[in-house]
Amino acid sequence: MKIAIINGPNLNLLGKREESIYGSQTFEEYLVTLKAQFPDHEISYFQSNIEGELVTAIQEVGSNSDGAILNAGAYTHTSIAMADAISGIQKPVVEVHISNVFAREDFRHVSYITPVCKGSIAGFGLDSYRLALLSLIS
């Protein structure tokens, strides 16, 4: 399968950003180990801090991939545009969060994308991405 991993704002800072919440590994480091665990699948990766670029990346999943793993970062809690983009494609999108958003501030308990995603995985650190991948390929 061709799976797109899409990361939203501030996730380019993994490894440096609030390490007690998000850990000390960069996403690029993690991606090497993730790809090695799934050699039979094609995994692409895109990160942007810009909402419109993320909308375009989701639209492209519709024609270029079999599904997507999306960590929309803070846009999870605000973005109708990203929710509409997910609704507009015919491919499954799994919502991912590194932290357990429900154990954090109230504003993180609201997700505009959960209702339009296949499912949601949160709170397992970077392993959330592997669990999301398993759900897409099984």
Residues within the interface to ligand DQA (CB under 6 A): 10, 71, 73-74, 76, 97-99, 101, 108
Nearer to ligand DQA (CB atom), residue 31 or residue 74: 74
DSSP for 27-75, written as a single string: HHHHHHHHHHH-TTSEEEEEE-S-HHHHHHHHHHHHHH-SEEEEE-GGG
Nearer to ligand DQA (CB atom), residue 20 or residue 90: 20
CB 89 within 8 A of CB 58: yes
Residue 108 three-state SS: helix
**Is 109 among the residues known to form the active site?**
no
Q: Shortest gap between Cβ of 40 and ligand DQA (angstroms)? A: 26
DSSP run (H or E) holding 132: helix 127-137
Marked catalytic residue, from 30, 75, 97, 129:
97
Q: Shortest gap between Cβ of 63 and ligand DQA (angstroms)? A: 26
Q: Helix 51-64 and helix 80-87: axis angle, to 10°?
A: 10
**Is 77 among the residues known to form the active site?**
no
Alpha-carbon gap, residue 103 to 126, rounded angstroms? 17
Nearer to ligand DQA (CB atom), residue 65 or residue 76: 76
**Residues annotated as part of the active site:** 22, 97
